[in-house]
Structure 1
Amino acid sequence: MNEQLEKQPQSAQQIPPPNYLVWAILTTILCCLPFGIVSIVYAAQVNSKWTAGDYEGAKQSSKNAKIWAWVSFGVALAGAIIWAILTLVIGIAGLGLDALASFNV
């Protein structure tokens, strides 16, 4: 039994890298569509590359899927922060104009 394990290639004993497909789909739906789609494409490549024996390619696709999911999340977060700041600034500016209008009686 031990001889069989020793004769198997080392890559066959490894577990496949995570494909991050769920995370890619969630960031596509909830965050930023274009970057999320890129993440989905890379996530879909992981399992097929692994089963084809392209272990390094599967690891690289997994890494790229994770990076693009983070990019999608970061762009959405930056957009939300910019939107909040603009809303605050416009709200304050609107209050300022109302105050000036009351002085021009």
Structure 2
Amino acid sequence: MTYNAPPPPPSSGPYGGATPPPNNLVWAILTTIFCCLPLGVVSIVYAAQVNGKFAAGDLAGAQESSRKAKQWAIWSVIAFFVALVIYLIVIFLVVANGDTTSTSSL
């Protein structure tokens, strides 16, 4: 009795059944809404390019756009937390110095 391996699956797509890299579009949209609008928009632009480049046969370009979309989303989150820390420091300093704008008439 001999074992015959099944035939390979038929290739489809420009890379023989390869899947496109993740486009990170969800992360790009979420960081645009909740974190930093300008950096999030850049992330959305790169995320939108991934599937088109992959469909056109540009695997390297699709991977690069995927990497950049993720990178800009991460930068958006970092910018949010930096801005939040600065905001909290300013609030703390204002509260620590007291209310200097009120006038008391004695």
- State the TM-score, normalized to the length of structure 2: 0.79
Query: 2:3 aligns to what?
Result: none
Task: Flag structure 2 segments of 5+ consecutive residues without an equivalent.
Answer: 1-5, 101-105
Supply the RMSD in Å over aligned alpha carbons: 2.6
Aligned residues: 97
C-alpha distance after superposition, 1:67-100 (max 9, x if no partner):
00011111011000110111111111117x6xxx
Identical amino acids, percent of aligned pairs: 46
- State the TM-score, normalized to the length of structure 1: 0.80
C-alpha distance after superposition, 1:20-71 (max 9, x if no partner):
1011011011111111000000000000001110000000000000000011
Structure 1 segments (4+ residues) deviating >4 Å:
7-10
C-alpha distance after superposition, 1:4-29 (max 9, x if no partner):
75x88993232111001011011011
Query: 1:2 aligns to what?
Result: 7
| Aligned-partner residue type, residue 22 of structure 1 | V
Task: Flag structure 1 segments of 5+ consecutive residues without an equivalent.
Answer: 98-104
| Aligned-partner residue type, residue 65 of structure 2 | S
- CA gap 1:11/1:76 in 2 versus in 1, 3 angstroms: same
CA–CA distance in structure 2, aligned partners of residues 74 and 3 of structure 1: 45
CA–CA distance in structure 2, aligned partners of residues 68 and 45 of structure 1: 14
CA–CA distance in structure 2, aligned partners of residues 31 and 45 of structure 1: 22
- CA gap 1:85/1:59 in 2 versus in 1, 3 angstroms: same
Look up the SS of the partner of 2:49 in the other structure.
helix
Query: 2:79 aligns to what?
Result: 75
